[in-house]
């Protein structure tokens, strides 16, 4: 079956460049073309493709709102393709927050017929201009989605996980946990993927309200699935939205109460036995680097009963098993609910395996977690 790709762009030259790029994708075909976001939402509702290449700045409806509506009505993978990612950084983070998986500059049309490949056909450069980066992004998104489907089918074929993992009472570890390392401070760990940037902003909105009524300061470490090139800018963007200084996590640094740290891309982040952060290279086959599971698993070993962990909206399963490790070690564990998640993949998997103390809507989860960490009673909610 062909891999169907849709194009959304108001510029004729950009549409032509994208059509040529799609023609270079093995096994792919053009699903349809839309001239603006409003048209794309309608077409996606009637004919959902395997992937949408979404422009940002368009008449009637721009790419951010179009992505938001597509994810709400007919969810499918979206890659933002804009004239300049760097020049439209704010819109890129907004679109990723709405559910886009990645972003890349629009490829240029080739200036000439160009070279001929060994088999007699046009090379990627000749046929698609400078489409190489876009083709890499398409291949990565396609591979990640297909890997998630394979894992989901394997999970469905196995015995129900709920029958294997007995849910534990909120706040009660499944086994006796060793004493926390003396250097471990109170930690808040957050994992997010599809739709994560906006969800993290909304989480901190509630968190900040609770802080005003006495919630204690904690060190926060965030893993957001995102292209490594965007993470430094994402940290700056996030800091401007949540009212906290946000920095990239540094190897050897021990988190300090009040800090908000974001894991760098291209490698895993873990908490070592001393409580300091360490970087791990991981394997080339890893779907996500950094992996939420890697951070959560390391924290369950280094800082048992050390704080709270939250799994927000995201495609796939990353973070679920790590959240279970934390819950068994005595951590407070939370997940975003189905209704407010852009994609209820990761939090839904965590709930299915008994890794979650409670699921909450994004409008209340931040305040709920803050109150729980302060020892105040909270209402337990299931999605």
Q: What SS3 class is residue 192? A: strand
Query: Does residue 187 sit in helix, strand or coil?
Result: strand
Terminal CA-CA length for the chain:
35
> What is d(CA 120, CA 166) in angstroms, rounded to the nearest whole number?
60
Are 316 and 287 spatial neighbours (Cβ–Cβ below 8 Å)? Answer: yes
Token pair listed for 137: 């992004």
244 given a catalytic annotation: no
Do 298 and 326 touch, CB atoms closer than 8 A? no
Token pair for 16? 């032509």
Closest CA to 168 of 327, 287, 18: 327
* H/E stretch holding 38: helix 37-46
Distances (CA, A) of 203 to 1, 275, 371: 40, 25, 13
Report which secondary-structure segment, H or E, holds 103.
strand 102-105
Q: Of the listed 225, 268, 288, 360, which one is catalytic? A: 225
Q: Which of 36, 55, 318, 357 is catalytic?
A: 318
What does DSSP assign to residue 193? -
Tell me whether residue 318 is one of the annotated catalytic residues: yes
Considering the candidates 55, 193, 321, 357, report the single residue annotated as catalytic. 193
Q: How far apart are CA 109 and CA 105, in angstroms?
A: 13
Helix residue ranges, H only, the chain: 12-23, 37-46, 63-73, 89-98, 124-128, 132-157, 161-164, 196-211, 231-242, 292-302, 320-328, 346-352, 365-373
Active site residue 193: yes
Question: Buried (b) or exposed (e) across 26-43, using 16+ Cβ within 10 A?
Answer: eebebbbbbbbbbbbbeb
CA 275 – CA 187 distance, rounded (Å): 10
Would you please indicate which residues are annotated as catalytic (active-site) residues? 193, 225, 318
């Amino acid at each position: 079956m062909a891999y169907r790709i849709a194009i959304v762009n108001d510029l004729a030259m950009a549409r032509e460049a994208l059509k040529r790029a799609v023609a270079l994708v093995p096994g792919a075909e053009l699903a349809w073309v839309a001239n603006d976001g409003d048209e794309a939402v309608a077409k996606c509702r009637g004919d959902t493709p395997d992937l949408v290449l979404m422009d940002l700045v368009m008449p009637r409806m721009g790419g951010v709102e179009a992505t938001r509506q597509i994810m709400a009505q007919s969810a499918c993978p979206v890659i933002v393709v804009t004239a300049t990612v760097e020049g439209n950084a704010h819109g890129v983070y907004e679109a990723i927050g709405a559910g886009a998986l990645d972003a890349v500059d629009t490829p240029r049309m080739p200036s000439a017929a160009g070279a001929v490949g060994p088999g007699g056909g046009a090379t990627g450069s000749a046929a698609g201009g400078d489409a190489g980066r876009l083709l890499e992004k398409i291949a990565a998104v396609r591979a990640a989605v297909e890997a998630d489907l394979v894992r989901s089918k394997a999970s469905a074929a196995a015995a129900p996980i709920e029958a294997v993992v007995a849910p534990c009472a909120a706040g009660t570890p499944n086994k006796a946990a060793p004493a926390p390392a003396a250097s471990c401070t109170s930690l808040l760990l957050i994992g997010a993927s599809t739709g994560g940037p906006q969800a993290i902003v909304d989480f901190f909105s509630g968190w900040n309200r609770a802080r005003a009524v006495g919630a204690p300061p904690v060190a926060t470490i965030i893993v957001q699935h995102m292209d490594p090139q965007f993470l430094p800018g994402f940290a700056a963007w996030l800091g401007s939205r949540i009212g906290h200084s946000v920095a990239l996590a540094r190897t050897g640094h021990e988190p300090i109460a009040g800090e908000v740290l974001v894991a760098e891309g291209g490698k895993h982040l873990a908490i070592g036995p001393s409580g300091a952060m360490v970087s791990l290279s991981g394997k080339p086959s890893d779907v996500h680097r950094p992996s939420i599971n890697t951070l959560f698993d390391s924290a369950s070993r280094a800082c048992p009963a050390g704080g709270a962990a939250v799994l927000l909206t995201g495609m796939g399963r990353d973070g679920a098993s790590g959240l279970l490790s934390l819950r068994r070690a005595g951590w407070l564990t939370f997940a975003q609910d189905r209704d407010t998640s852009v994609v209820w993949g990761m939090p839904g998997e965590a709930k299915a395996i008994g890794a979650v103390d409670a699921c909450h809507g994004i409008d209340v989860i931040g305040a709920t977690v803050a109150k729980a960490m302060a020892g105040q009673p909270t209402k337990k909610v299931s999605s």
